[in-house]
């Protein structure tokens, strides 16, 4: 319950406060969000399987976001930024789909 409330509060906060992201970090925001979605789906699946732990979630979320952004940053420096961004999205996308399918099975048994 608390995470859900926090999520909603965050969305509302983001809409009304409109914090401005520094120009340097802007290209990495979408990738960070994909990584965050991956961590979220993983956490929800773990929650349904009864193995959810806050600490693992926090650590996996932060490291996922940072690593995804760092990969794209390094890619930008060596000129393959958009390709590496695609790679990150593909890999995390596969994981998101797999976890979403597991969540669907756990929720609906279908």
Partner 1 sequence: MTVTYVRRRAHRSQATTSTTSPPMRSRNRAPDASMDLLNQIIRQPLDPDYALAAARGTDPARGRWTLAVLAMIIGALFSVAALQTTREAPALQSERTELISRVQAAEKEQDQLRGRVNLLTQEIATLRAAALGGDEAARTMEAQIDTLDPVVGYVAVTGPGVLIVVDDSPSAAADARDRVLDIDLQVLANGLWEAGAEAISINGHRLSSLTAIRSAGDAITVDYRSLTRPYRVEAIGDPLTLQARFVESSAGAWWNDLAQNRRMRYEISDVKQLDLAADPGIVLRHAGRAAS
Q: For binding to partner 1 (CB under 8 A), which residues are involved?
A: 2-15, 18-19, 21, 26, 29-30, 32-33, 36, 40, 42, 45-46, 49-61, 91, 94-95, 98-99, 102
Closest distance to partner 1 from the beta carbon of 71 (Å): 14
Cα dihedral 15, 20, 79, 72 sign = negative
By CB neighbour count within 10 A (0-12 exposed, 13-18 middle, 19+ buried), where does 23 fall?
A: exposed
Counts for the chain of helices (H) and strands (E), in that order:
4, 0
Quick one: 33 or 70, whose CB is closer to partner 1? 33
Distance from C-alpha of 51 to C-alpha of 96, rounded to nearest angstrom: 18
Smallest gap from Cβ 101 to partner 1, in A, equals: 9
Q: Which is nearer to partner 1, 7 or 74 (CB)?
A: 7
Minimum distance, C-beta of residue 67 to partner 1, in the bound complex (Å) = 13
């Amino acid at each position: 319950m608390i995470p859900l409330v926090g999520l909603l509060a965050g969305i509302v906060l983001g809409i009304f406060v409109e914090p401005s992201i520094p120009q340097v970090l802007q290209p990495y925001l979408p990738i960070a969000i994909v990584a965050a979605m991956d961590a979220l789906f993983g956490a929800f699946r773990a929650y349904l399987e009864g193995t959810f732990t806050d600490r693992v979630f926090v650590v996996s979320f932060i490291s996922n976001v940072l690593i995804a952004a760092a990969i794209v940053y390094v890619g930008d420096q060596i000129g393959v930024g958009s390709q590496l961004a695609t790679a990150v999205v593909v890999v995390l996308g596969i994981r998101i789909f797999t976890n979403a399918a597991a969540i669907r099975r756990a929720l609906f048994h279908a």
